[in-house]
Structure 1
């Protein structure tokens, strides 16, 4: 009987082994549509990053030009104020009287007219 039991056991094992296997369909992590979406997102992300960096570089250049222009304006304002101060110093009454004496001019008090507002 042990032979019979062994035979029966072998037949059952063969039935289990001989069960036709289903064709396994390889399951990818992403479908083709999802792959296309991921690819498009990556391309848009790269172009967006490039666009952002180029805009920041342009803004930096404009800010640099503005600072250079402001520095130039400040220098010109300083020069203008120095020249205004020089005009004030050179147009004093004493200096004008001194220059008039050097040129031989004299003050005739009979010829002076006073203008009132």
Structure 2
């Protein structure tokens, strides 16, 4: 019987050793602390670059919007200038000037008229 007790005791010791081995397992991280620092730094740089890129795109959008506004104003002013040029041409017509002079009581003196050529 002594042998049977010894066998049971050895089996019990082996089970406790196996249980202890299971509990003692050390979990290793798949990243070292240096790799973690490098990863966090890289992620920070990517975020900084993304923010910088978006802010630059926003500034470019604002400048383009301002350019469009100025171009619209220039087109309006050019249209107004061309309309005024047509109006000047109509108002500077010889026949119209002659009629206005007659209405004001002016008379044409043929000896005193000089012909001036325009543009």
For this structure pair, what is the TM-score category when the shorter chain's length is used for normalisation?
0.7 to 0.9
Q: What corresponds to 2:27 in structure 1?
A: 26
Q: What corresponds to 2:54 in structure 1?
A: 53
SS at match of 2:39: helix
The aligned length equals 113
Q: CA deviation at 1:56?
A: 1.4
Name the CA shift for 1:18/1:110 in 2 (closer, same or farther; >3 Å).
Answer: closer
Alpha-carbon displacement from aligned partner over 1:66-107 (angstroms, at most 9, x marks no partner): 111011111111110110010011011110111221233333
SS at match of 1:106: coil
Cα distance in 2 between the residues matched to 1:85 and 1:61: 36
Question: Runs of 5+ in structure 2 lacking a partner?
Answer: none
SS at match of 1:107: coil
Q: What corresponds to 2:84 in structure 1?
A: 83
Cα distance in 2 between the residues matched to 1:86 and 1:41: 67
Name the CA shift for 1:100/1:18 in 2 (closer, same or farther; >3 Å).
Answer: closer
After superposition, the CA RMSD in angstroms is 2.7
Please identify which structure carries the higher helix content: 2
Name the CA shift for 1:7/1:114 in 2 (closer, same or farther; >3 Å).
Answer: closer
